[in-house]
Amino acid sequence: MRLGNVIGHVTLSRQEASYRGGRFLLVQPWNAANYSGDDKPQASESTLVVYDQLGAGVGSIVGFTEGSEAAKPFPESTPVDAYCAAIVDKVFHQLPK
Amino acid sequence: MILARIDGVVVATVCHPSMQGRRTVICQPLNEAGAPEGAPVLALDAHGAGQHQRVLISTDGAAARAMVGDEHSPLRNTVVALLDAS
């Protein structure tokens, strides 16, 4: 799982039937600098579209999983490869001195 | 498996049921020399790893699902070992 900032939503007009009831968030993944409080948007990481059932809003930090594990939380097989697993309340991070 | 160092903890009350009540730690992957390499990842910790403890992370989703006992869990990374100070 990785953390990311929600920077927007994606609204679909036509979609996979198995996507019903889900929302799509535009997420900017964090890199090492973001964890220690630096919130400059990093150019290297590409913005992802993450499937969300928890109701994360723009500006919140979410924990999302990718790959085959992201397709697991569905009753039938669903083509999802980025799934929002958590809306983060607090990040405690400290580098060793 | 990945050699990593625990750099922090993440608290998320709204999350997938398989994560509720479990500890989510921030793991910074380390290279063979022990220096940080790459972006941190989050893992589920069942062994109570301390801050800046070096650990081994498994990236096997099936083991993570078996650990939380939920076949629909989206989790992959779990802390499987705590390293002794070498």
CATH number of the domain enclosing A12: 2.40.50.220
Q: Are A88 and B10 in contact (CB < 8 Å)?
A: yes
How far are the Cα atoms of A22, B55, B56 from residue A83, in angstroms, in the given order? 10, 26, 24
Q: What is the pTM of this model?
A: 0.91
* Distance of alpha carbon A31 from alpha carbon B15, whole angstroms: 22
Domain membership of residue A94 (yes or no) is no
Q: Is residue A50 part of a domain?
A: yes
Task: Kindly report the nearest CA distance between residue A52 and chain B, in angstroms.
Answer: 11
Residue A84 domain-assigned? yes
C-alpha distance across the termini of chain A, in Å: 26
A35, A54, A55: residue with CB nearest B7: A35
The answer to whether B76 contacts A88, with C-beta atoms less than 8 Å apart, is: no
ipTM: 0.90
Is residue B81 left, alpha or beta, with left meaning phi > 0 and alpha meaning psi from -120 to 50?
beta
Report residue A7 as tokens.
């920077």
- Smallest Cα distance from A33 to chain B, Å: 9
Which domains are assigned to chain B? 2-82 (2.40.50.220)
Residue A83 lies in a domain: yes
pLDDT tens per residue across span A44-76: 678 999 999 999 999 999 999 999 999 999 988
Amino acid at B28: Q
